[in-house]
Structure 1
Amino acid sequence: MHRVYDGSATGSPRGDLPRAALTAFAPFVWGTTYIVTTELLPAGHPLFAGLLRALPAGLIALAITRTLPRGAWWGKSAVLGVLNIGLLFPLLFLAAERLPGGVAATLAAAQPLVVAVLAVAVLRERPSTWRIGWGAMGLAGVALVVLGPAAAFDGVGVAAGLGGAVSMALGLTLTKHWGRPAGVGPTAFAGWQLTAGGVLLLPLTAFVEGPPPAIGPAAAIGYLWLGLCGGLIAYAVWFRGVTTLPVNSVAILTLLSPLVAAVLGAALLGQTLGAIQLAGFALGLAAIVAGQLPAPGRFSVSTATPAPKGISR
């Protein structure tokens, strides 16, 4: 018996929701990046922070699993590592430097909408008003939470923010399209991409930022958190979810990051969440939850031949 979905279904709620909850750990942890960076790390070295988040985690994963890519997966891993790590980090950091944090977070929150389009083009899924609608709702919710009167738009910053959203969306979609090689676990799979992305960031960091900063106790804790939890563990969990869950369901989970960052800002930095922000927060959470459910009337169980790769699980 096979579960059969069209492009707008996310699958069986009973089967997918526990995996979605586990996968949500990754964007939840990534939501701590802003406060860790601003409160613990030395200023002016965002690429170095990205490098330490990626390369050590990737090398540790390779050492633990002792599994290297084979054949075409050398090239695929390099492409995915660039899109998901090596290109994404510089674009996000550039957007953060050129734009107020709320604007950068809102641009990044456009990623589920980009994935909804790419799922049609790359995965041959049917267009889904359910996915697009909730993606737009989630984007609106994040905007209500993080945008303020100081919001300003810089052309380069906006291009970087949108480029980061597209890079992550394309990496996510290609990860789903190519799947994971048989016999390769999520830790090894994450290790390939983290290493590839870290290798790209290494010369870029040296060229842009020069020598690494002095690392005190607080910074050491921050880098350890970013590398161990935000890198090794989070990406292993993330790529497991990407390869086992519907791509649109995973994409909308990324909205957790700006929401977590806003909550931490209110709890630890004294930032205020007014009625509009709370309404946006509720809207964002509703979009995340709805994104894990099948569109009404779109899920069925059948004994027919499985649907094409990327649609049937």
Structure 2
Amino acid sequence: MKRQFDIAITAIAPLIWGSTYYVTTEYLPAGYPISMAALRALPAGLLLLILARQLPQGVWWARVFVLGALNFALFWTLLFVAAYRLPGGVAATVGAVQPLIVVFLASTILGTTIRLSSVAAATIGMLGVGFLVLGGGSTLDSIGLFAGLGGAVSMGAGTQSLNVAPL
């Protein structure tokens, strides 16, 4: 029974994540990516601050700033730009390049070895997302594509930022 519960809980994350593109294009006012990014990230951040009941100390102020900039402010803003300018399937596929970006950033920043299995898994995942969500006749917008790639790079860099020497 626990296995089925774990699978069900794990399935919720992609469902919620995938709804971002649909909700953005169908229900949110167009042209406000920074406002939408703030509305998406700020409530969760405030809730975490209330739950933690403490502010960062020392070097963690710089780390929180970098993490907040890369993983939230920049990432969400670029994600909403991509969601406004691209069909949801295209935006999702562009965002699915993030694991591949993380593999290469980890090699560059941390000096880890790039393994063929990691590159293959990330590529297969990206192709899988494309097969699932891309429809025929998808239009491509260069600003939306660059925003989607920029968001993936931003989040990928944010996942590596804590592994770098202290700021």
TM-score, shorter chain, exceeding 0.5? yes
Q: Determine which of 114, 127, 130 is the counterpart of 1:143.
A: 130
Q: What pairs with 1:218-233 in structure 2 (closer than 5 Å)?
A: none
From 86, 106, 120, the equivalent of 2:73 is 86
2:35 is aligned to 48
Cα distance in 2 for residues equivalent to 1:111 and 1:96: 16
Q: Does residue 105 in structure 1 map to residue 89 in structure 2?
A: no
Give matches, 1:157-236, under 5 Å. 157-175=144-162, 177=163
Q: Which moved more, 1:156-165 or 1:43-52?
A: 43-52
Match of 1:131 among 90, 109, 118: 118
Instruction: State the 1:52 CA deviation.
Output: 2.0
Flag structure 2 segments of 5+ consecutive residues without an equivalent. 1-5
CA-based RMSD:
2.6
Larger Rg: 1
More helix, by proportion: 2
| Separation in structure 2 between the aligned mates of residue 37 and residue 171 of structure 1, nearest angstrom | 24
Residues 59-68 or 71-80, more deviating: 59-68
Structure-2 change in CA distance of 1:96 and 1:36 (3 Å): closer
1:121–1:20 Cα change, 3 Å: farther
Alpha carbons of structure 1 residues 123 and 51: separation in structure 2 relative to 1, 3 Å: same
How many residue pairs match? The answer is 159
CA contact (8 A) 2:83 2:91 kept: yes
Q: Is the 8 A contact 1:100 1:150 kept in 2?
A: no
Q: For residues 39-93 of structure 1, what are the alpha-carbon distances to aligned partners after superposition, in whole Å with 9 as ceiling and x for unaligned?
A: 5x44325543332221122122212221111111101111111110100111111
Residue 26 of structure 1 and its aligned partner are, at CA, apart by 4.2
Distance 1:63 1:128 in 2: 41
- AA matched with 1:48: S
Segment drifting more, 165-174 vs 28-37:
28-37
Q: Structure 1 residues 26 and 137, CA, compared in 2 at 3 Å: closer, same or farther?
A: same
Q: Percent identity?
A: 47
Distance in 2, Cα, partners of 1:80 & 1:20 = 29
Unaligned runs of 5+ in 1: 1-18, 180-313
Q: Is the partner of 1:84 in helix, strand or coil? A: helix
